[in-house]
Every structure is written in structure tokens, then in C-alpha cells.
Amino acid sequence: MGDLTGPDFPAGLCLAVSGGGDSMAMLHLAAGWARPMGIGLRVATVDHGLRPEAAAEAALVADEARGLGLPHETLHWNWDGQGNLQDAARRGRHALLGAWAGGAGVLYAHTQDDQAETLLLRLARGSGVDGLSGMAPRTHLAGLTVLRPLLDATRAELRHYLATLRIPFVDDPSNDDPAYDRVRARAALEALAPLGLSRARLAATAGRMARARRALEARAHEAARALLRPARPGLLRLDRDGLAALDPETRLRLLAGALRHVASAPYRPREEALASAVDRALSGGTATLHGAMLVPREADLWIGREARAVADLSVPAEAGARWDGRWALAAPHPGAAIAAWGADAAPDEAPRRLCAALPCLRVDGQVVHPPPGADGPVWIAERSPHGDFPAILTGN
């Protein structure tokens, strides 16, 4: 905890506690650490509405928190039926906890066992350095700062701690359901143990890969700063020849971050699709990927949002309004709406097809304020939820 939060310790921290063994152990460990440090703690349980036992589990956490003198809140998430359930639940949990924490760090109870299982699953998917670096002790997820103080602790150690202090917890039956990839990974780890492939060794490998990842991130960040050229706000313009001269790993890492930035995407595109799009763009062709476009023009490679992705997106120009995840009004404009520039995009130093995806203000469908220009007053502020470019290259 000292490594994660010091030397300037925060006034308060938040804990995500499900009621399972790992998180209940974390609750008591954190309470014992924070009290003499004078750090306030708040506790939350996310009820995903997927199991009837969830309400009772949240009540157990609330009762245990009350016994420790800590405030508790149950956060409710409802699935809209769209997409993969597990992925949607994970994203929904992060969003709820981020809004509840209000900028404070949130402790997650991931253990060395979870780290090893994550590494094995990502290895099966053919992940590269980033995936095999596992879960970071401290990371940022779209406004949520996640702290994982138990990555060096084993699940068995925490169970012993719970048994010794007679701390109650619940076992989710899905933890033994072989229908889930993580449960099968757990069984595979047991089978691989005789080969010396222990949880501790896998976790140590993740640590070494994380060190390599940080070095690659620093290299990509340095290259991006050298290759960036002035451009209209909302677009990126890079030295095309300079990109082509980079080693493949740095080039792909740099452009993955650029695509994430312009599309406000939480994750980088898949490696194969990214490599294909980059090869096409450097060969002089336009490529569309990840809700963004790569457009070569003479000595430059321009990167911006794909116009089709925002063609029907319209938001009332009210205070606090956000458009496409990364644009926020500096001041409200009553009666106007934020929408894509579209076919009204004027010829510019940038490719018109990219300018078409920039935001403008419209009243009754007519443009009353075009997008901010490179030299004009910026009345819309660009705030990417996943980090600005090139800072995004080292942020997650």
C-alpha cells in the first residue's frame, strides 16, 4: 500500500468488495493499515443483478464494513442485453465504481493466482508483450484509478488469514464452473505445476514483461513526439517517412495509440488488423480501423475519426455536454446541437473526409459554428477519456 499510494498519501481511498474471500480479506487488511495512517476508507459492492444471492452478499459486506466503522454502498448495474455479458458487466462495474469513487483510487482484490490465470489466458490468445505483462499494480481505466495491493499474495494465504480471524465470506459457485475460461485456466495451472510452471513463476514472468512494456512505451512516446506535426484540433498528423523508418514494434504501438485517441477507444485494435491497416497506409492507401481512418497525403499520414461512425451523433449543446467521448463544450449554446461537420466540411489543409467527422454547432440543421481551427478560438475542448496523444502511449 505504501508503494501504491505514497509518499504523499491520499486523504481517502475506496474499496471494491464483492463478499468473496479475496475481497473480504482485503477489506480487513486495508482497514488495519489505513486507521493508523489517518486515511479514510469507503466500501462499495456492485450488484450486477444476475444472481439472486447478490443482494445477501452485498448485505454481508455492508455488515462487515459497519463493524469496521466504514461506510458502505451497493451499486446496481443492469445489462441492456447488448454484446458479451461478461465484458459488458466488467465495463459496467468499472463505470459505476469510477463515478462512485469521484477520482479516488479504488482497491481491487486481484491476487497472484489471478495474475497467473490472466497470463495463461492471454498466452492462449497469442498476446504480445502488453498482454503478457498481466495486471498492473496501478492502472487507469477511463476515469477509474485501480489499485491492486494483493498481487503478491496468494489465494491460499488470504484464506488462511480469513480462517484465523474467522472473517465471513461467500464462495461464488461460478468459481467452480468449467464453462468459464478462468476456471479452466485454474485447472490447467494445477496440471502444469509438475513442470515447474507455478503461479509464482508465471506472476514473476508478468513482472518482467511489464518492465519490457514500459521500455517499449517510452520508445513509442519519444518517437511520437519527434514525428508529430501541427494539425487542426481533433486530428493527428505524422511524418510518414519517419513512421516508415521506425522498427515495426514501435510503429505499431505508436499508431495503435493514435487510433485509440481519435476514436476514444479503451483498447487497442487487434494486432493482425492493425498491421494490415498500417501497411496499406504507408503504401499510399487509405485504411479504416477501430472507428478511425489513416489517410496518407504527400509526406504526411493523417489520422482522424471515421465520419460514418459519428454521422448520426447529435447532442444538445448544454453545459457539461460531451460529444463522441472526447469533445466538451467550453460554454453552453442554447438552442444548438453538437453534430458532425459532415458534408459542410470546408476544404482545409487536412483531408476533407477527416474534417467531416469533427464536431460543429448546428441550429435547425444549419452550421452556426464550425469546428475549432488550428489558429482560431477553441470553443470546444478536446478531452480524451483514455489519455491525450502522445501521453496515451504510456498511460495504460
Angstrom CA distances, 392 to 130, 197, 298, stand at: 14, 34, 26
Alpha carbons 272 and 348: distance in angstroms, whole number? 33
Please list, in sequence order, all residues whose beta carbon lies within 8 angstroms of the beta carbon of residue 83, skipping any fewer than 6 positions away: none
The answer to whether 114 is annotated as binding is no
The answer to whether 18 is annotated as binding is yes
How many CB atoms are closer than 10 A to CB 214? 13
The answer to whether 177 is annotated as binding is no
- Quote the cell numbers at residue 347: 476544404
Per-position DSSP letters for 133-148, written without gaps between them: T---SEEEETTEEEE-
Per-position DSSP letters for 74-128, written without gaps between them: EEE----S-S-HHHHHHHHHHHHHHHHHTTS-EE----HHHHHHHHHHHHHTT--
The answer to whether 22 is annotated as binding is yes
The answer to whether 291 is annotated as binding is no
By C-alpha distance, which of 393, 373, 57, 143 is closest to 246?
A: 393
By C-alpha distance, which of 232, 181, 226 is closest to 346?
A: 232
241-248: list long-range contacts, CB under 8 Å, 24+ apart: 241/299, 243/282, 243/301, 244/282, 248/275
- The sign one gets for the Cα dihedral 194, 195, 200, 206 is negative
Cα 133 to the center of its chain, rounded Å: 15
The answer to whether 32 is annotated as binding is no
8 Å CB contact between 54 and 19 = no
DSSP secondary-structure letter at 333?
-
Which residues define the annotated binding site? 18-23
Residues that constitute the known binding site for ATP: 18-23
